[in-house]
Amino acid sequence: MDRTHHAPGLSLRDLARRCGAELSGDGGVMIDRVATLDGAGPGAIAFLSNPKYRAQLASTQASAVIVSARDAAATALPKLVAENPYATYARVAAIFNPGESVHAGIHPTAVVAAGAQVAASAELGAYVVIGEGVTIGERARIHAGCVIGDGCEIADDVELHPRVVVYPRSSIGARTVLHSGAVIGADGFGMADDQGRWVKVPQVGRVVIGADVEIGANTTIDRGAIDDTIIEDDVKLDNQIQIGHNCRIGAHTAIAGCVGIAGSTRIGRNCQIGGAAMITGHVHIADGTIVSAATLVCDSIETPGVYTGAFPALPHREWRHVASGMRRLRTLAERVRALERKFDGE
């Protein structure tokens, strides 16, 4: 069933122009929503980006589709032809599902320090708390229950969803979005061992987040111990990610949910980190690297490529057999080395 939002219609020709796609077929067909190939009905536009769904092109009830050039001949429907159908779908979906407008003003329950500077076009929701010396940019939206500590900088068009906490002196760049429960700038995990007791190391750095970043729900980014923790422009972070102190995440990198990144790690630009990957501290990952889901990264990656460390699931009996063999690998390697020495000496 097509459950997508119905918006005022646009012709396929208009969509092609606005999205920079090639029009093929009847440009006058009216489109008012996006949908999946399987769930679309009249008035909807669907897309094909994954070859496994190509068979659904023949049965879709969509009024139009978005396809690549190699799939264009597989359907007689009116279509948008694009090099990247998924990205074109994203642009079309944004047209039919625009974000809410900013309702400028400060809710009566908000607490704003006397020394804070809040742009007149910004929106502060119920029970928002804004500390001393904070600057809030034009058209920023700070939703209910957010807390922004002293000295923070919130740039133009930033959106903080309910219950985001931004610790003092953090900086958030233009058009960045933080989802509910995100915590920016909490202390990094810095402890010094002193004869069996832990001495806390003051965390005096900041968190600096660039422009066009998106940070998922309940993701946490620790402030630097000395230098800043830096998230560069256009980084996309999923839900429930932990980023330790003094990390640097390069521009245009995307990180999926439940990833843990220990302190002082440097992740390059245009990287992709799969869900539940674990990255130990003080390592460097080269630009353009892809780390598969659940992979453990213990050493620096200097050469871009795809790196995978997860062992695929097996039936339990088979897994126990494989695990048993792996436990014997060291003994087997020692026996092989002994044999090599024996034959080398003959």
- CA 228 from chain centre, in angstroms, equals 20
Task: Classify burial at 265, counting beta carbons within 10 Å of its beta carbon; exposed 0-12, middle 13-18, buried 19 or more.
Answer: buried
Active site residue 245: yes
* Residue 285 near residue 279, CB atoms below 8 Å: yes
Cα 197–198–199 angle (5° rounding)?
120
Q: What are the strands of the beta sheet with 129-130, ordered from one edge?
A: 111-112, 129-130, 147-148, 165-166, 183-186, 220-222, 242-243, 260-261, 278-279, 296-297
* Residue 38 near residue 76, CB atoms below 8 Å: no
Q: Which of 245, 252, 282, 321 is catalytic?
A: 245
30-31 vs 220-222, strand pairing mode: unpaired
Residue that is written with structure tokens 């050493």 in the block: 299
Q: So which residues are the catalytic ones? A: 245
